[in-house]
Amino acid sequence: MKAISLVVVLFLGLASSAFAETLYVSDRLEIQMRTGKGTQFRILRMLPSGTPLDVLEVDQENGYSRVRAPGGVEGWVLNRYLMKGQAARDRLASAEKQLAQLELENRKLKTSFSDLKQEKGQTAEERNDLEKKNRKIAQELEEIRRTASSALAIDTENKDLKSKIVAYERQLQTLQQENEGLKDRTARDWFMVGAGVIILGMIIGLIIPRIRWRKKSSWDTL
pLDDT digits (tens, 9 = 90+) for 150-168: 777 777 877 888 888 888 7
Q: Is 190 a residue whose pLDDT tops 90?
A: no
* Domain ranges within the chain, ordered by starting residue: 2-83, 88-169
- pLDDT score for 199: 86
Report H helices in the chain.
Answer: 2-19, 88-119, 124-221
pTM beyond 0.75, yes or no: no
Q: Mean pLDDT across the stretch 195-205? A: 82
Q: What percent of the chain has pLDDT over 90?
A: 17
Rounded alpha-carbon distances, angstroms, from residue 134 to 41, 71, 108: 58, 44, 11
Query: What fold characterizes domain 2-83?
Result: SH3 type barrels. (2.30.30)
Answer for the pair 25, 48: CB distance below 8 angstroms, yes or no.
yes
Q: Summarize pLDDT for 1-56 with one digit per residue, the tens.
A: 434 443 333 444 444 445 567 766 555 468 899 999 999 999 999 998 888 999 99
Task: Please report which helix (H) or strand (E) contains residue 77, including its range.
Answer: strand 74-78
Q: Mean pLDDT for the chain?
A: 76
- Cα 29 from Cα 81, distance rounded (Å): 10
